[in-house]
Amino acid sequence: MSSQITMYSGDWCGDCRRSERLMKSLGVKYDVIDVETVAGAAEKVREYNGGAQSIPVIVFSDGTHLTEPSDLQLTSKLKELALI
């Protein structure tokens, strides 16, 4: 992994595509882990979410994460981390 952000995602997930579009438009680098194809990824998502399988789960370098964030929540977090 090369970036400060890791996103657990799925190709079929509309919220995932929205969060990816936002980060791309802001020039933010991130790594994507596909929960359908990467072994252990779905289990990791459940760990972050207390058992729920909701995606995207966006994990930041400060150890925090957001699950299914709105564009406003994600933008706010990116500003907090001085990534935008």
pLDDT in tens, 34-74: 999 999 999 999 999 999 999 999 999 999 999 999 999 99
The reported pTM is 0.94
- What pLDDT score does 29 carry? 95
For residue 55, the SS3 value is coil
- What pLDDT score does 1 carry? 45
For the chain, percent of residues with pLDDT exceeding 90 = 95
pLDDT average, residue stretch 2-16? 92
Domain spanning 5-80: which superfamily? Answer: Glutaredoxin (3.40.30.10)
First to last CA, the chain: 20
- What pLDDT score does 3 carry? 75
Alpha-helical regions (H) of the chain: 14-25, 41-48, 71-80
